[in-house]
């Protein structure tokens, strides 16, 4: 849920924990195991040696900053976001707001080219070229991670997850979030990070690949009222694929009070694909009072008509089907009818164990 709260709740606590950093150039079985372990413990992790060139990243970031530096009337020509396009403050259609302005783009090449005509009318090829190259690179990274994830879950069809976002009619998105500095001061105290830029929420798609410009603000929550700041890393992408509640009989440590959190957690699409083994983790972005923050998020999603159900290896007599088969279009419609943080997947719970 994106919450219009100027300051964090007084009862909140901060905990400094380093997210796992996974080197994708290591041996494949090792990497696969580390990804599963990272998902079990955090639901978020960083990847290095990811194969996305710095030039591709820099071009996309430069074009994004160039757009957001324009006067407001010029930026508004690319909006309103319905759903694609420019938006500011208001997020979605159900009253969610934040200290953010953004561009939301379809990852379809034709759509990017069309939007580029209003985003950068004087030379649209610069923006469209940067966006297409960036999308192609991060899509490839997302597919690699999904295949490693499938291997770690012992799914025989290792492309079961990745082919959903490789589809030509994939509903994947690229979201460029710009958090302007709130004041002109240079205060670096903790109080300077108090404004909610993008409130707590979960991502409804399959997987998120996130890149920021080196300014902190991202936080994740593994239990109620406790937030973990994610340090920016210029050499890494941050990946959000959901959090494993239980895998191979291993329970989460009791001190995280995970069972309590699980009842309240905002589940996401990937949980259905893993038959409940993965659950999304709440996260948010705080605005910085003295530096602009830019984040570039690729949301991997299937085509609208794709049918969502878990691979057969993840359904057993001991762990029957939790959710009925549904399409991404059905799920997306449900998501749009609710606030961003509301539980959605429970609408698709299976009434019978063997429903398919």
- Would you name the residues annotated as active-site residues? 293
Neighbours of 48 (CB within 10 A): 13
Contacts of 296 by beta carbon, 8 Å cutoff, 6+ apart = 60, 61, 64, 134, 174, 175, 176, 177, 210, 211, 212
Contact 106, 298 (CB under 8 A): no
3-state secondary structure of 228: strand
In whole angstroms, what is the distance from residue 275 CA to residue 288 CA?
38
Residue 100: in which H helix or E strand, if any? strand 96-106
For the residues of 279-303, what is the DSSP string, one character each? E--EEEEEEPSSS-EEEEEEEE---
In whole angstroms, what is the distance from residue 236 CA to residue 47 CA?
5
Half-sphere exposure of 107 (CA within 13 A, CB side): 27
Instruction: Give Dmax (Cα) for the chain.
Output: 61
Contacts of 31 by beta carbon, 8 Å cutoff, 6+ apart = 22, 23, 24, 148
| DSSP tally for the chain: helices H, then strands E | 9, 19
Contact 244, 270 (CB under 8 A): no
Neighbours of 42 (CB within 10 A): 20
Contact 285, 177 (CB under 8 A): yes
Beta bridge partners of 13: 226
């Amino acid at each position: 849920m994106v919450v219009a709260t100027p300051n964090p709740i007084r009862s909140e606590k901060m905990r400094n924990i380093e997210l796992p950093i996974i080197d994708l150039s290591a041996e494949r079985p090792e990497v696969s195991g580390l990804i599963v372990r990272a998902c079990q413990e955090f639901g978020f992790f960083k990847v290095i040696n990811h194969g996305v060139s710095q030039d591709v990243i820099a071009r996309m970031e430069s074009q994004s900053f160039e757009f957001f530096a324009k006067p407001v009337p010029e930026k508004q020509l690319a909006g309103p976001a319905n759903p694609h396009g420019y938006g500011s403050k208001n997020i979605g259609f159900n009253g969610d707001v934040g200290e953010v302005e953004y561009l939301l783009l379809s990852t379809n090449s034709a759509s990017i080219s069309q939007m580029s005509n209003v985003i950068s009318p004087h030379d649209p090829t610069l923006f469209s070229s940067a966006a297409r190259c960036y999308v192609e690179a991060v899509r490839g990274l997302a597919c690699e991670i999904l295949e490693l994830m499938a291997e770690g879950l012992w799914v025989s069809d290792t492309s079961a997850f990745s082919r959903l976002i490789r589809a030509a009619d994939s509903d994947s998105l690229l979201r460029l979030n710009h958090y302007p500095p709130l004041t002109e001061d240079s205060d670096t105290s903790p109080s300077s990070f108090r404004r909610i830029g993008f409130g707590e929420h979960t991502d409804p798609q399959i997987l998120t690949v996130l890149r920021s410009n080196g300014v902190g603000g991202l936080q994740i929550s593994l239990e109620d009222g406790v937030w973990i700041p994610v340090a920016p890393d210029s050499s890494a992408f941050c990946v959000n694929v959901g959090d494993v509640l239980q895998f191979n009989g291993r329970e989460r440590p009791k001190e995280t009070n995970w069972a309590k959190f699980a009842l309240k957690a905002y589940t996401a699409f990937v949980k259905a694909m893993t038959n409940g083994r993965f659950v999304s983790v709440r996260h948010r972005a705080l605005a910085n009072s003295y530096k602009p923050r830019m984040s570039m998020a690729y949301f991997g999603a299937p085509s609208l008509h794709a049918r969502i159900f878990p691979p057969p290896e993840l359904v057993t007599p001991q762990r029957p089907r939790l959710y009925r088969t549904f399409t991404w279009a059905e799920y997306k419609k449900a998501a749009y009818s609710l606030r961003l943080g509301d539980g959605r997947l429970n609408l698709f719970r299976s009434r019978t164990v063997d429903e398919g």
